[in-house]
Amino acid sequence: MSLQRFIRIMRALRFDDKSNRTERINTSGNQAAAVQDIFELFLAKYRSSYRCGSSVTIDEQLISFHGRCRFIMYIPSKPGKYGLKMWVMADSDTYYCANVQLCAGKVGNQPDVGQATRVVLELAESIQGSGRNISTDNFFTSYKLARDLMDRRLTIVGTMRSNRKEIPNQMLPNGDRSLYSSTFGFSRDGATLVSYVPKRRKAVVLLSTQHRDDTVANDEKAKPEIITYYNATKSGADVLDKLVRTYTCKRPIKRCATPLLP
């Protein structure tokens, strides 16, 4: 493709009606209304094609992008640092992208209260009732989310932040707990809480609605089965992000200074 042809296509390329774009953004509150229609076509294929896998991972993903966009985010912990933030649900075994949600930033001055719970429930709509497990990190995991997922016939395994009010004081880090010890807690509705001590004065707390016992490994570190399962299923979105960067479809050329679409 020649440079002039590429520039002409980019000038005329539209995925919506530009005349009512502002009205759609104000009505729906979606900052990405300009590409939402074609984005939904991709999402429909993701959801309908996902079949295998007993566990999925929900996490954030940053698509590197430095163009003009009002909801570009800066995440210093990511390799690209600048780009478009996505909430991704990926299979824990095959790393297939089962569902995606674009994070287009705050709409107006309205804070996104309960964002973590909302994101997981919306992404998991396509697999509800399937009995699958969802692995999440401490940003998402909470007892309220676990209850909501159980109502949808889904389980959750994830780490929890120490400031969650549902964690008892006996499971928080302290100097009296012995190394490699575990403390379990069980609720009547099927939720299991475990606190494991990997180092002195440190504790890792996980919540699971899939495990109902206090099984630990028969070795020196005596890791609970909940932690072993979480370590095996937590990297679905991270591996997907690595594969996207390794097998990118971007094609930069030296003669064209205009960046290609991501």
pLDDT tens-place string over residues 205-249: 999 999 999 999 999 999 999 999 999 999 999 999 888 888 776
pLDDT of residue 146: 95
Contact 239, 61 (CB under 8 A): no
Query: Does 90 or 26 have the greater pLDDT score?
Result: 90
**Residue 258: which pLDDT band, with cuts at 50, 70 and 90?**
very low
- H helix or E strand, kind and range, residue 1: none
What does pLDDT average to over the chain? Answer: 86
Conformation bin of residue 180: beta by default, left when phi > 0, alpha when psi is -120 to 50: left
Contact 128, 152 (CB under 8 A): yes
Quick one: what percent of the chain has pLDDT higher than 70?
90
Going by C-beta distance under 8 Å and a sequence separation of 6 or more, which residues neighbour residue 51? none
Quick one: what percent of the chain has pLDDT higher than 90?
48
pLDDT of residue 88: 94
Contact 201, 173 (CB under 8 A): yes
**Residue 107: which pLDDT band, with cuts at 50, 70 and 90?**
low
Q: Inform me whether the pLDDT recorded for 8 exceeds 70.
A: yes
DSSP alpha helix (H) spans, the chain? 3-12, 21-28, 36-49, 115-123, 143-151, 225-233, 236-246
Q: Inform me whether the pLDDT recorded for 72 exceeds 90.
A: no
Nearest to 228 by CA among 220, 236, 217: 217
